[in-house]
Amino acid sequence: MVSVASSQVAAVAGVDGTAVSPDRLDGVELVRSVRRRVSRGELSPQQALRAVPAADVARALVPPVDTSQLVRIARGLGVSPGVASGVAVFSATEAVAAAEAGQAAVLFLPETRPDDLPGMQAAVATVTERGGLTSHAAVISRSLGHPCATALADAVVDRYGRCLRTAAGEVVGHGTVVTVDGLAGTVYRGAPPAATRNPGIDAAVGWLLAQANGMPHLPVRVNADTPTDAARGRDAGAAGIGLCRVEHMLLGERQAVLRDALLVDRGASAIDALAELQSVLRAGFTAILSVMDGLPVTVRLLDAPRHEFLPDARDGARAPLPAELLDQAQRLHEQNPMLGVRGVRAALLMPELAVAQLEALVDATLELRLRGNDPRPEVLVPMVSAPEELAWVRALLEEVCRWRGHRPAPDGLRIPVGAMIETPRAALLARALAVRADFLSIGTNDLSALVWGLSRDDAELELLPSYVELGILRESPFDAFDTTGVGELVRYTVDTARVAKPELPIGLCGEHAGNPPDVEWFVQAGLTYLSCSPPRVPITTYAAARHAVTSPE
């Protein structure tokens, strides 16, 4: 696809009468030239989209920053694109303090945990010694739109000594100015000249995105867990929220709420902890549904492995932790947490947790209706591997509606319930799931992991880079969607589910939805919508609109 697109670009440039090869045109220049030609009436807006490949728009959205004059001090995995500079800090508290003092800070940590969120929000970039593309630091940074580098190959973060120690023997202390390139995964000493930083989106690029947004295309939703991300997505033209992750609504200080609910044995204190959880989620849902008024908001029930919210036994070696906490963490320890009690399994084993989430959603919806709003929540059930699991959650939701005095459809509150297709078994049983579901949503991250039998965080450190080097793979299946293997199951899902229900909405909410070449494949596979992180909404929309104008009628 890329080569075809390049030749189209060459043709356009040729018409222009310039001898510039497409390789030398950077994204912004290409878009500007195309816009001029549209304004001169030489091209239609549709032809403008055909002339500019999505990859060029993506480059134009993240303009290169010149780091060539800086000294590289560490190298790792780039997990959230962009370049940012600031003073090095070594704790979330220091990052918050720097921000309050009006100083841009780069947060360095061995790895981030949910309670580091305020620090990550305050910092302009994050660097973690350990991690991978789906580590906590990576996921949060992408959602914030901040650069992030993880898995440092040649440096360690010494949080007690408050410095970065490199293999070359350098020590980068607190307060040193550094620059992070979150695409290359590199850290530099110093900062580029201010003029080259934060140039903002070029006006021509903004114009082109607006053209794309105005053309018919596959709906693009946003993955958003906060009102801020929801608004960012809505501003970029998102047709709703395709993935609102309950566990991401419980980060930072709110993490303690979930931990208490997991910790306490069932009894009086459990009731308090669950009431608190419900109250926090209700406020969160109300805010997000308000921002997305009139548009669908797909709320995914808690999916994180339980131990992520409990202390790591290794933490205990550094600072003594309450015995009760460590006992529970030990009890919930799983050898392979990715394959453990997550998603619907946690809902079934701890139904009170599922009830708290559903009650919060129902209450937020009723409250907004009373205010005259038009909230459109949907419940997405993660890690489904048997249709009975979905039926169980649906029954629970109906119970909750009854308790709240609202009968299910047709005369009362009706919240669609869908299954996430992320285990291979869910894909293989898509027809049976479709019968019980109002919609399906394909999660390509976990589905790819299970189809390949790969744990992404581990594999991206050693295995996948080696496989690319050995020529076994061209790209990581987590970066470029694996159409041959995982794609076969996606096609099977769409085809068999539609046998049961021809009009069933089937969305897709993995990170691949933000990768332009994959967007084309997903459109052709017959999906109903795509959902991607807020910074990717414009490029995914562009890729979908461009596909619509380039594909044969």
User: Which residues contact a second copy (rule: CB under 8 A)?
Assistant: 313-314, 334-341, 345, 348-349, 383, 385-386, 388-389, 392, 422-425, 428-429, 446, 449-455, 457-459, 462-463, 466-467, 470-473, 482, 484-486, 488-489
Cβ neighbourhood burial of 410 (10 Å; 0-12, 13-18, 19+): exposed
- Position 280: which residue type? V
Nearer to a second copy by Cβ, of 97 and 326: the residue is: 326
Using DSSP, state whether 546 is helix, strand or coil: helix
Phi, psi of 181 (to 5 degrees): -105, 105
Residues known to be catalytic? 136, 509
Nearer to a second copy by Cβ, of 522 and 529: the residue is: 522
Least distance in Å: CB of 419 to a second copy? Answer: 13
Place of tokens 């900062």: 191
Which pair of tokens denotes residue 269? 């204190």
Which pair of tokens denotes residue 270? 């459990």
Phi, psi of 74 (to 5 degrees): -155, 155
Least distance in Å: CB of 442 to a second copy? Answer: 14
Nearer to a second copy by Cβ, of 49 and 427: the residue is: 427
Using DSSP, state whether 271 is helix, strand or coil: helix
The whole-angstrom separation of Cα 374 and Cα 384 is 29
Least distance in Å: CB of 255 to a second copy? Answer: 19
Other CB atoms within a 10 A radius of the CB of residue 47 amount to 16
The whole-angstrom separation of Cα 321 and Cα 7 is 62
Strand 77-80 and strand 148-150: pairing? antiparallel
Nearer to a second copy by Cβ, of 268 and 317: the residue is: 317
Nearer to a second copy by Cβ, of 71 and 470: the residue is: 470
Query: Residue 486 contacts by C-beta under 8 Å, 6 or more apart in sequence?
Result: 444, 447, 448, 451, 452, 477
Least distance in Å: CB of 471 to a second copy? Answer: 7
Cα three-residue angle 300-306-312, rounded to 5 degrees: 140
Residue 342 and residue 305 in contact, taking contact as beta carbons nearer than 8 Å: yes
Least distance in Å: CB of 212 to a second copy? Answer: 34
Least distance in Å: CB of 253 to a second copy? Answer: 26
Nearer to a second copy by Cβ, of 162 and 345: the residue is: 345
Query: Residue 352 contacts by C-beta under 8 Å, 6 or more apart in sequence?
Result: 261, 266, 270, 274
